[in-house]
Amino acid sequence: MPNVTCSNCETEFDSKEKKCPSCGTKNRLKICPICGGQMAKSAKRCPKCGAKNKKPIYKRWWFWVLIIYLVYRIPLFFTKDNIGTSQTGTEQPTVTVTPTPTPTQTPTKDLEVLELVGGMDSVEGIYDENVGSIHITGQVRNNGDKMLDYASVQFSLYDEAGNLLGTAMDNIVNFDAGETWQFDAVGISNVPVDTYRLSDLSGNYYGF
């Protein structure tokens, strides 16, 4: 893979890496697919050849609006009751997004089936002002003895004043017992997200 040069320590590393392996600075650079020059991910055009920096489809707002719509519609096709794995109603930790937060609290209750591996300390959220989206990543483990046909994780999003902006969600199907799921919960907001809170972690099975 082509390399980029860290803007902080000038170490060369793979352009696909999220952070500099030497100093830990977040990688905000990419390689121009036309001329191979180094450019900022947020740049509109390559400074070397002038080629337009096209956003991938997953960074376009309408794509995530469609995904979130489909996520909410999928459970309506099923009729079985929810497994008792929801954390809604319990006190949840709040984490500041600035823009890469460092969680300082963990959930106060272990889940019977689904577990947020490592608690909130293992969850990272990054808000991208260029596309108005937030990605919240972490891991969930199925501690049950059977496969879940459907599982989801959901976070409530808030602005600096504490106003609710919306939700970030991800889901998975055929989540087998003992497996660990690397989730990427995505939310859309034109207003910068200041904090987020884990609001739901649940799963369903529909077999007999």
Residues near 100 by beta carbon (within 8 Å), at least 6 away in sequence: 26, 124, 125, 126
DSSP string, 44-60: SB-TTT--B-PPPGGGS
Residue 146 near residue 185 (C-beta atoms within 8 A): no
Distance CA 183, CA 112 (A): 19
Domains of the chain: residue spans and CATH: 80-204 (2.60.40)
Q: Please write the tens of the pLDDT for every residue from 137-164.
A: 999 999 988 888 888 999 999 988 889 9
- What SS3 class is residue 160? coil
What's the pLDDT at 207? 52
Residue 74 near residue 171 (C-beta atoms within 8 A): yes
DSSP alpha helix (H) spans, the chain:
61-73
What's the pLDDT at 88? 45
The DSSP output letter for 120 is: G
| Length of the chain, in residues | 208
What's the pLDDT at 154? 92
What's the pLDDT at 96? 42
Share of the chain above pLDDT 90, in %: 19
Residues near 173 by beta carbon (within 8 Å), at least 6 away in sequence: 149, 150
Distance CA 120, CA 181 (A): 15
Predicted confidence (pLDDT) at residue 208 exceeds the cutoff of 90: no
Q: Please write the tens of the pLDDT for every residue from 82-128.
A: 444 444 444 554 444 444 444 434 333 334 689 888 888 889 888 88
Predicted confidence (pLDDT) at residue 31 exceeds the cutoff of 60: yes
